[in-house]
Structure 1
Amino acid sequence: MATQLKNLSDFSHTTVPNGTAYKFAIAVAEWNAEITGSLYNGALKTLLAHGVLADNILSIAVPGSFELTSAADILLNKHEELDAVICLGCVIQGDTKHFDFICDAVANGITQLSIKHSKPVIFGVLTTNDLQQAIDRAGGKHGNKGDEAAITALKMAELSAIA
């Protein structure tokens, strides 16, 4: 659904599981730090608000969105107790094809890791045309993609536990 039709932080239409029993990692890109910091704060606040214990959240920083895939793989290999990894980043369209290569690599890498590890790896990466769109989706008028990524992690962790 297009973001202009939905607030990324509105979950009034769905049931969100209690996260007390789950362990999560959050990998956040340092590139576009103002945006990714807001995404991280949203994800962390949302996990805590839904019962995840602070001690059950492992947070790491990586240089950029491209490194999120590698970080998630390392986390899942070293911390088998994790129920999901949330990947947070922001890639803003520029004048070259770099945007396309990074976005494609990260999206495909995250999908492949979910399959490889049979664990949810959550795509919380903004892929926007400009800085204002990123601001609007990192706690601005369209809500916070970090909130959405955390809710997705909770829902997928629950699915994995009952499936």
Structure 2
Amino acid sequence: MSGAGAPTHQPVDCHDLRVAVVAATWHEQVMDGLLAGAARAFADYRVDAPVVVRVPGAFELPVVAGALAAHGYEAVIALGVVIRGGTPHFEYVCSAATDGLARVALDHTVALGFGVLTCDDEQQALDRAGLEGSREDKGYEAASAALLTAQTLKRVRRGYDA
């Protein structure tokens, strides 16, 4: 089962972080769930007013995530979903989104929450979207990972050696 072995973290106070979300608009029901999950994480981690920017699809996530990182956001959460179809389009979009977001994280040394679902069918996406009846909450997980990483980066920048 997906999600087995996931770490558990206690939320920490992140009220002082500049946080942004870039979210695709394709697959509205799944995206609503991912955004709601991220919002639950923001409440748990005391993030009051994250910026939320919408883009057409997963392919557009990296360029906007990069722009947000360049404007000083300490945590950027990328949310999207790509569902396999009958053409190689799935592989191209998944690869471009994944590689592009990794590049943003490394080029800007920014905490980037990867909440892009890459699923074989819509049911898999719904099962991970954090909706009522979902088995997983990938929006929450991506936001939590970005916030914890941003806190770690703050410590590293202050000379933390661990």
Same fold (TM over 0.5): yes
Q: Look up the match of 1:23.
A: 18
- The residue aligned with 1:61 is 54
Looking at structure 2, the residues matched to 91 and 42 of structure 1 have their Cα atoms a distance apart, in angstroms, of 18
TM-superposed CA distance for 1:4, in Å, is 5.3
Instruction: Give the match for residue 5 of structure 1.
Output: 4
Q: For residues 18-97 of structure 1, what are the structure 2 equivalents within 5 Å? A: 18-54=13-49, 57-77=50-70, 79-80=71-72, 82-97=73-88
1:101-145 deviations in Å (ceiling 9; x for gaps): 110111110111111111112211000110000000002432210
The one-character-per-residue Cα deviations of 1:70-100 (angstroms, maximum 9, x if unpaired) are 11112122x22x1111000000011111000
What's the TM-score, normalizing by structure 2? 0.89
Number of residues paired by the alignment? 154
Secondary structure at the counterpart of residue 5 of structure 1:
coil
Query: CA offsets per residue over residues 21-44 of structure 1, 9 Å max, x none?
Result: 211100000011111111011101
C-alpha spacing 1:143/1:97, structure 2 compared with 1 (3 Å): same
Q: Is the 8 A contact 1:110 1:122 kept in 2?
A: no
Alignment partners' CA distance in 2, 1:37 and 1:48: 17
The aligned amino acid for 2:12 is P
Per the normalisation by structure 1, the TM-score is: 0.88
Q: In structure 1, give the amino acid aligned to 2:35.
A: Y
How far apart are the structure 2 equivalents of 1:127 and 1:71?
A: 19
Residue 39 of structure 1 aligns with an amino acid whose one-letter code is L
8 Å contact kept, 1:138–1:145: yes
Looking at structure 2, the residues matched to 52 and 14 of structure 1 have their Cα atoms a distance apart, in angstroms, of 16
Please list every run of 5 or more consecutive structure 2 residues that lacks an aligned counterpart in the other structure: 157-162
CA distance in 1, matches of 2:51, 2:155: 23
Instruction: Name segments (4+ residues, structure 1) moved above 4 Å.
Output: none
Aligned to 2:89: 98
Q: Is the 8 A contact 2:11 2:44 kept in 1?
A: no
Tell me: higher relative CO, structure 1 or 2? Use CA pairs within 8 A at least 6 residues apart: 1
Correspondence 1:149 to 2:142: yes
Distance of 1:83 and 1:48 partners within structure 2: 17
The RMSD of aligned alpha carbons is 1.5
